[in-house]
Amino acid sequence: MIITNNEEALRVNCEDVLQEEIGSLVELLEKELDNSAKLGRPGIGLAAPQIGIAKKIAIVRLGDNLNINLINAKIKQGLQPALFRDEGCLSFPGRVETTTRFQEVLVENQFANFNSFIATGLLAVVCQHELDHLNSTLFMDKIAAKVVSKKNKVGPNDPCTCGKLDLSTNKVKKFKKCCGR
């Protein structure tokens, strides 16, 4: 069961995952994510601390073709900080916030299909969110300040922070033609 509305239980120190633990932990995380969707609370990621397991593992499920397991993963670099609207968390049902997140991150991953990869748009935000869980950080810790400097704002011609693709170019849509309308 996913822990809800309990910051203390979610702010735990996580241990590295051993290779022999991966299969059962991924299976358990997928089961809990599926159960949450059946209860009317669909999600696109889940970290082990959210189900009471203090291990450095999380899953990202963004549609049929984008399934990533984050195992002992770290964000090595983040580029283009921007505001991300309506970030939520399965552990805090109904709560959404505007957060400050990187639009692009370099993720180093262990024991996974991708040992390192660059995530952009929505995938970058989800990776940051789930990896934060593994480091005792919650999304409300990333709430955007009321006064934001100009360099952190998304311009009309910048890639949209939601990560939606323009199918004609296979690139992230520009903010002005997506969420900035």
Which residues are part of the catalytic machinery?
Answer: 130
Show the beta-strand stretches assigned E in 109-155: 116-120
| Single-letter code of the amino acid located at 146 | K
How far, in Å, CA of 95 to CA of 77, rounded? Answer: 28
The per-residue b/e assignment along 47-72, b for 16 or more CB within 10 angstroms, e otherwise, is bbbbbebebbbbbbbeeeeeebbbbb
Closest CA to 15 of 59, 57, 54: 54
Quote the Cα angle for 21-75-163, to 5°: 105
Closest CA to 45 of 128, 147, 165: 128
